[in-house]
Amino acid sequence: MSLITWTAEQFGTDVDFADEEHKTLFGKLNKLHELATDGADRSATGAQLDDLIAYVVEHFTHEESEMQSKGFDGYASHKSEHDALVGTGAELQKKFHAGEAEVTEEFGQLVKTWLENHIPKFDMAYSGALNG
């Protein structure tokens, strides 16, 4: 079973690019979780971790540039949230490739919980500004 499933009710922002990118992000997270918990080859898990983190950075950068171009006043607090997750991901990535950590069930749950909080609370808040 997938770790996280995108539904409009729970995650829809009314901003097309964000919804599409969130769906892609969820797919990459689900794949990583599956590899990590099914005992896949370590190199495959590492490649998926790198792919997920690169995509998260790309998505956050996209949102941040859209918020800035619209002069959205929630930009700073929103960016702090992004930076915190990227920091957590980068730390795991560094340790994983140094052979000092593994991708765990807990990491998948942490990212899932973060998304379940962040998208409704922060991403939905920019809907009016980005569509305006």
Sites of contact with ligand FEO (CB under 6 A): 18, 22, 59-60, 63, 78, 82, 118-119, 122-123
Q: Cα–Cα distance between 27 and 68 in angstroms, integer?
A: 27
Count CB atoms within 10 A of the CB of residue 42. Answer: 14
Q: Which residue lies nearer to ligand FEO by CB, 15 or 103?
A: 15
* Nearest distance from C-beta of residue 126 to ligand FEO, angstroms: 8
* Nearest distance from C-beta of residue 71 to ligand FEO, angstroms: 17
Distances (CA, A) of 110 to 36, 65, 87, 106, 107: 14, 26, 13, 6, 5
* Nearest distance from C-beta of residue 40 to ligand FEO, angstroms: 27
Q: Which residue lies nearer to ligand FEO by CB, 18 or 53?
A: 18
Q: Which residue lies nearer to ligand FEO by CB, 60 or 72?
A: 60
* Nearest distance from C-beta of residue 81 to ligand FEO, angstroms: 7
- Hey, what long-range contacts does 95-100 have (CB within 8 A, 24 or more apart)? 96/45, 96/46, 96/49, 97/46
Q: Cα–Cα distance between 117 and 114 in angstroms, integer?
A: 5
Q: Which residue lies nearer to ligand FEO by CB, 29 or 45?
A: 29
